[in-house]
Amino acid sequence: MAAADDIALIQKQEEMLVFPAFDEAVAFEIGAAIRERALAEAMPIIVDIRLWDRPLFYAAMPGSNASNPDWARRKINVVKRFLRSTYRMVLEQQRPDRSFKIGEGLDIADYVLAGGGFPVTLKSAGVIGVIAVSGLPEREDHGVVVDALCDHLGVDKRGLALPREAE
């Protein structure tokens, strides 16, 4: 699948995976579901769910490491700045060094082009926060979040899942 096809599918994910309401309880349900899947599948990830003004859920799985929270923090900053999925940004920017163009003025210490950050969009308010996963290859980080959102919102995953990359 070409990058343009993936970008179009991610845009569809962002349009469809919208919450009618989002609060601490919803964040906990989604975070706990991701945590349970990660434990069952031995995923060495961290999960960070937050609104712009405060964290709501955090979990670190066995095998995650000290760099995962920093990667998540930088992904969160990208979603906050651009109000879109970080994996979409990766595909749109096509920058193998993981940094934004110098003219953007975004320091690599605070912003990274890496998949796994997904906007929390509220139907009545727009993007209000982010769900970030870090620890797997970026396409898989992204997929973990999308799967959890589909499950929580009752959206059929089959139409929204990115296909596996060719090996």
Query: Which residue ranges make up each domain of the chain?
Result: 3-159
**Residue 106 pLDDT > 70, yes or no?**
yes
Please list, residue by residue across 84-93, b when 16 or more beta carbons sit within 10 angstroms of its beta carbon and e when fewer do: bbbbbbbbbe
Mean pLDDT across 57-86:
98
Q: What is the pLDDT of residue 99?
A: 87
Contact 120, 146 (CB under 8 A): no
C-alpha dist (Å) from residue 108 to 10, 31, 97, 118:
24, 27, 10, 19
- The CATH code of the domain at 3-159 is 3.30.450.150
Least confident segment among 23-32, 43-52, 103-112, 118-127:
103-112
Confidence of residue 103 (pLDDT cuts 50, 70, 90): confident
Q: What is the pLDDT of residue 116?
A: 98
**Which 3 state secondary structure label does DSSP give 164?**
coil
**Residue 167 pLDDT > 50, yes or no?**
no
Burial class (CB in 10 A: 0-12, 13-18, 19+), 142: buried
CA 88 to chain centre: 10
Q: What is the pLDDT of residue 1?
A: 53
Per DSSP (E only), the strands in 116-159 are 117-122, 126-134
